[in-house]
Amino acid sequence: MYNSNFDKFPEVAIQGYNGYTGWNEIAAELQSRIYQKEEEPCVIIIECYHGVLAEQLVEQLKKHTNDTIQFFPVQPAMSETEQVEHLVYPYVTDDPVFGRITSLNIKSFFNPERLEQLKQEVKNSKGIICIYGTGASLVYEAPHMLVYADMPRWEIQLRFRRNEISNLGTNNPNDAFSYQYKRAFFVDWRVCDRLKKELLPVADYVLDTTHPDDPKMVSGSALQDALKEIVHQPFRVVPFFDPGPWGGQWLKEVCDLERTEKNFAWGFDCVPEENSLLIRFDHILFETPSINLVFSEPKALLGLKVFEAFGAEFPIRFDFLDTMHGGNLSLQVHPLKEYIREKFGMDYTQDESYYFLEAQDDSFVYLGLKEGIVPERMISDLEAAQEKKIAFDADQYVEKWPIRKHDHVLIPAGTVHCSGANSVVLEISATPYIFTFKLWDWGRMGMDGKPRPISLKHGQHSIQWNRTTQWTKNNILNQVQKIAEGEGWIEERTGLHKGSFIETRRHWFTGKVYHNTNGIVNILNLVEGREAVVESPGDAFKPFIVHYAETFIVPAAVGVYTVRPYGDGVGTTCCTVKAFVNTENLGDYHSN
C-alpha cells in the first residue's frame, strides 16, 4: 500500500481579515450595512456567476433576515429560451464537441422591454430592494451594496452532471453533460467572465456557495488584498480528479483517492480556469475560482511579457493522465494555430508534452507517423473504422515507441499521438485543452455507455504528414540537453520544439537549487522524491512544502527562489520539472 502524502486541499493562509460563515452570520452582516432613505429605495445587488443556485441562496437569506426586504429575480427579464437558443447557436454550432468563442455580453441575453420594465419597477419601489441572479447588476447602476456570488467551473460541471443547473438563459438541466459543458465553455463562462472582470474589483462582498449548506462570505477588499498577497509566494490550486474509459489505478494510491471508484483517468492539478483556490481567512476557509487571481493580478502572476502576449489568461496547464492497468488514450491530434484561430476563435493552440511519471516494462507511446504511409489510405481506414466497418490498425500507420519512467515526449500541434496503457503522464500543455481531435478510440464506449465523438473531419486538416519516424526521433523524442550543474544539482533542458512557446527544464538535486522566475511565471512538479521545500533567500515568503507529484505555481513577481529536499526527501535524489513561457519563441502568439 502506497503511503500517500499528496495534499488534495492545499490552503493559502491570509492573516488579519475576518469573514462570515453560515447564513445567519452572512445575513446579519448584510443587514448591518443596510440603511433606508424615504425618497429612494435601498438597493442590494446579488450578482451571480453561472451555476450559482440563486433561488436557494435567496430562500436562505429570507429565513435569516427580516421581512422588510423585497426580492426581485432578474431571470424573468431575460429573453425567451427560443430567442436565447437562436442567439448562441453561431457559437455552439452543431458540432458534437466544438464551438466558437462567443463575443456576446450579458446584456445580449435580456429582453430590452422586460429589462426596462424591471428597472422602472425597482426605481418606483420604496424600502429595501434586493435584485438577484446572473445579470442583476444591469438593473441598477449604483446600488447601495454589491454582493458577488461566485462559482468555480469544476463545481459547475458537477452540478451539470447532477442535473441541478441549466445553461445561461435557458432551462435545460436534463440535457447531455457534453452539450452543457460545450455551451458553457464557448458561451456562458465567457459572458460571465467579462462581467466578473468589471464587478469583482468593486464588489462590497463576495459569496462562496460552493457548498450551499456551508456558505462563506468575505469583503470584496479582503479578497482583493488576499489575491495581491498570493502572487508574491508559491502556491497550489485545488486539484480535481475524474474517471475515464481508459483510466487507471495509480492516482488512487499516489493521491489517496476513493478506492471504490472504478478508475481515475485525469488529475487536474494546475488548470486555473477550472481549479479553485482555498484561502484561509483567519477562522474561515474560503473557496474562490483560481481564475480570479489571473484576472485580478495578471502582471504580477504571469509577468509583463506573458501578459502582453496572452492577456489575463494563464497559458500553461499541468495535469495527469493515468492509464496504469487501464487502456490506451484515444489516437488524436491537435489543431495548428491557423486552424484553431479560423474555426474556433482561439488565439493559440494546444502544443503539449508527455512527461512520464511512471511506466511499466511494456509501456509505450504512439507518436508521429510511419515512413512511407499513404495519407489517403490512412484517412480511408479511419473513416471505415468510424462507420464500424473495420477496426483501425494504428500500428500500420503510427510509430510506436517504448518509453520509460522520466522520458519526455514533445507533441507539437499537428502530431498524431496517443499514450498507451500502463503509464502515468504528467501532461504539460498550452491551455486550450478542449481542442483534442480524436481520430480513433479503439471501438470502446465512453463512461456513459455511448461512443465518444470522433473528430476526423477536423483532425485530417491538422495532421502533419511529414512528421514520420526519423523526424520524430530527431526532433521530439527525449530531446535532453544538460544546461548546467553545481554541487548537488544538475539542470537539463528536456525539450522545446521550435513551434512551441513552452520551455521545460528538469532539475535533479540532493541539495539546494537556485531558481529565478526572470519575470515569467514558473510551474513545477516534484516528479521524484517524497518531499521538498521552496524558500526565499530573502525571506520574502514563508517556506513552502511540496510533496511527490504535486504541481505548484511560482508567480513571476517572486523572482529568486530555492528548492531543496525536505523531510522524507532528505538523503534522496529529488527531481522537479519546470515549465515556463519562452518569450523569444512566441511567434504570433499575441492577445492583441
pLDDT 10s digits, 240-251: 999 999 999 999
pTM, two decimals, is: 0.95
Cα(401)–Cα(354) distance, rounded to whole angstroms?
13
Looking at residue 37, its pLDDT comes to: 57
DSSP-assigned beta bridge partners for residue 352: 411, 429
Per-residue pLDDT of 562-573, as tens digits, reads: 999 999 999 999
Q: Say how many CA atoms lie within 13 Å of 67 toward its Cβ.
A: 0
- The answer to whether 161 and 79 have CB atoms below 8 angstroms apart is no
Q: Which of 55-69, 106-120, 433-447, 520-534 has the lowest mean pLDDT?
A: 433-447
Over range 109-127, report the average pLDDT. 94
Cα(522)–Cα(316) distance, rounded to whole angstroms?
9
Model confidence band, residue 351 (pLDDT cutoffs 50, 70, 90): confident
Per-residue pLDDT of 299-343, as tens digits, reads: 999 999 999 999 999 999 999 999 999 999 999 998 887 877 777
Nearest to 293 by CA among 279, 310, 308: 279
* Burial zone of 245 (CB within 10 Å; 0-12 exposed, 13-18 middle, 19+ buried): buried
Looking at residue 159, its pLDDT comes to: 98
Per-residue pLDDT of 1-51, as tens digits, reads: 578 999 999 999 999 888 999 999 999 999 988 865 556 788 999 999 999
**Residue 222 in grid coordinates:** 479582503
In CATH terms, the superfamily for domain 14-227 is: P-loop containing nucleotide triphosphate hydrolases (3.40.50.300)
Model confidence band, residue 591 (pLDDT cutoffs 50, 70, 90): very low
Q: Characterize the bridge pairing of strands 205-208 and 145-150.
A: parallel
Cα(456)–Cα(453) distance, rounded to whole angstroms?
9
Cα(276)–Cα(271) distance, rounded to whole angstroms?
9
- Please give the order of strands across the beta sheet that includes 544-547: 513-516, 560-565, 531-535, 544-547
Over range 457-465, report the average pLDDT. 92
Length of the chain counted residue by residue: 592
Q: Characterize the bridge pairing of strands 11-14 and 276-281.
A: parallel
DSSP-assigned beta bridge partners for residue 279: 12, 286
Beta strands in 250-363 (DSSP E): 266-270, 276-281, 284-289, 316-322, 331-333, 352-359
> DSSP states of 55-76 as a string?
HHHHHHHHHHS-TTEEEEESGG
Looking at residue 433, its pLDDT comes to: 58
Integer angstrom CA distances of residue 301 from 153, 200, 221, 312, 540? 20, 18, 19, 10, 16
DSSP-assigned beta bridge partners for residue 133: 47
Per-residue pLDDT of 196-218, as tens digits, reads: 999 999 999 999 999 999 999 99
The dotted CATH code for 242-272+314-475 is 2.60.120.10
Res 97 pLDDT > 90: no
Integer angstrom CA distances of residue 490 from 143, 281, 357, 528, 574? 58, 39, 19, 14, 11
Sign (positive or negative) of CA dihedral 438, 268, 177, 207: negative
DSSP-assigned beta bridge partners for residue 132: 46, 73
Q: Which of 227-231, 343-347, 438-442 has the lowest mean pLDDT?
A: 343-347
Q: Characterize the bridge pairing of strands 364-369 and 489-495.
A: unpaired
Sign (positive or negative) of CA dihedral 135, 136, 142, 148: negative
Q: Which CATH class, in words, describes the domain spanning 481-585?
A: mainly beta
Cα(171)–Cα(127) distance, rounded to whole angstroms?
32
Model confidence band, residue 454 (pLDDT cutoffs 50, 70, 90): confident
Looking at residue 342, its pLDDT comes to: 79
Res 84 pLDDT > 50: yes
Is it true that 242-272+314-475 and 481-585 share their CATH fold?
A: yes
Cα(145)–Cα(128) distance, rounded to whole angstroms?
11
Looking at residue 592, its pLDDT comes to: 31
User: For residue 542, which phi and psi values (nearest 5 degrees)?
Assistant: -70, 150
Domain ranges for the chain: 14-227, 242-272+314-475, 481-585
Res 529 pLDDT > 50: yes
